[in-house]
Amino acid sequence: MNRTLPPLRVQIFHELQDYATTWAAMRAFTATRTATTPDELWLLEHPPLFTLGQAGRPEHLLAPGAIPVFQTDRGGQVTYHGPGQLVAYLLLDLRRAGIGIKRLVAQLEQAVMLLLAQYGVQSERRVNAPGVYVAEAKIAALGLRVRQGCCYHGVALNVDMDLAPFQRINPCGYSGLAVTQLADFCPSIQFADVRQALSTQLQSTILAFSNPLAASSFQH
């Protein structure tokens, strides 16, 4: 069925964003949105922290040390966020768009894979292990929460960051899981370029469920 969806609102944050504040903002947006509220895409970085998802087990936090730990409501286990990791939060009305969570996950993974291909990096999915992998190492983690037909949270892509904190956890609940980043394959990568490329992929690959969405962009 042909449907016209409200314009997508893209927000790009240039400063590090506190996780708890961002999480509260996502929850508030989702709780107060109406049937006509435009979907939003937030692109940002967080200060160093570990997050435990709904299925997160404390034993997967091996040695967090001084890095803060935050219990959140996304799906999945434990992961690390930090500067140089590009986080894309999608605040979408799935019911209005007529898309299920499994298709959304597949579209998110596909968007990241297409982005990596632009930089000559071949990647893949894994069955029953959401995310994107390069040569057996995880380069992007994915976690979502659906409430009353609307989702929030999203995907975290390792661009050019300190990967050492991942050794303090079992990433995504998998002992010994290797982690990688785009800079390992493209040393001269520019974070801003990757951010724009991922924004474009998410808009064209994921958010155009029926008709292409017009996007308005806001810089912070």
pLDDT in tens, 5-30: 678 899 999 999 999 999 999 999 99
Tell me whether residue 172 is one of the annotated catalytic residues. yes
**Which residue of the set 150, 151, 172, 186 is catalytic?**
172
pTM (2 decimals)? Answer: 0.92
Is 74 annotated to bind ligand?
Answer: yes
Pairing of strands 137-147, 150-158: antiparallel
Half-sphere exposure of 139 (CA within 13 A, CB side): 23
In this predicted structure, the answer to whether residue 208 has a pLDDT above a threshold of 80 is no
Is 111 annotated to bind ligand?
Answer: no
Is 156 annotated to bind ligand?
Answer: yes
Looking at residue 141, its pLDDT comes to 95
Task: Give CA–CA dist 149/37, Å, rounded.
Answer: 13
Of the options 3.40.50.2020, 3.30.930.10, 3.90.1150.10, 3.40.50.410, the CATH number for the domain spanning 8-219:
3.30.930.10
Is 173 annotated to bind ligand?
Answer: no
Banded pLDDT at 129 (limits 50, 70, 90): confident
Could you give the C-alpha distances from 20 to 77, 156, 166, in angstroms and in order? 17, 16, 20
In this predicted structure, the answer to whether residue 210 has a pLDDT above a threshold of 70 is no
User: pLDDT tens across 71-98, in order?
Assistant: 998 988 889 999 999 999 999 999 998 8
- Torsions phi, psi of 111, nearest 5? -60, -45
Least confident window among 37-41, 54-58, 89-93: 54-58
Is 143 annotated to bind ligand?
Answer: yes
Is 141 annotated to bind ligand?
Answer: yes
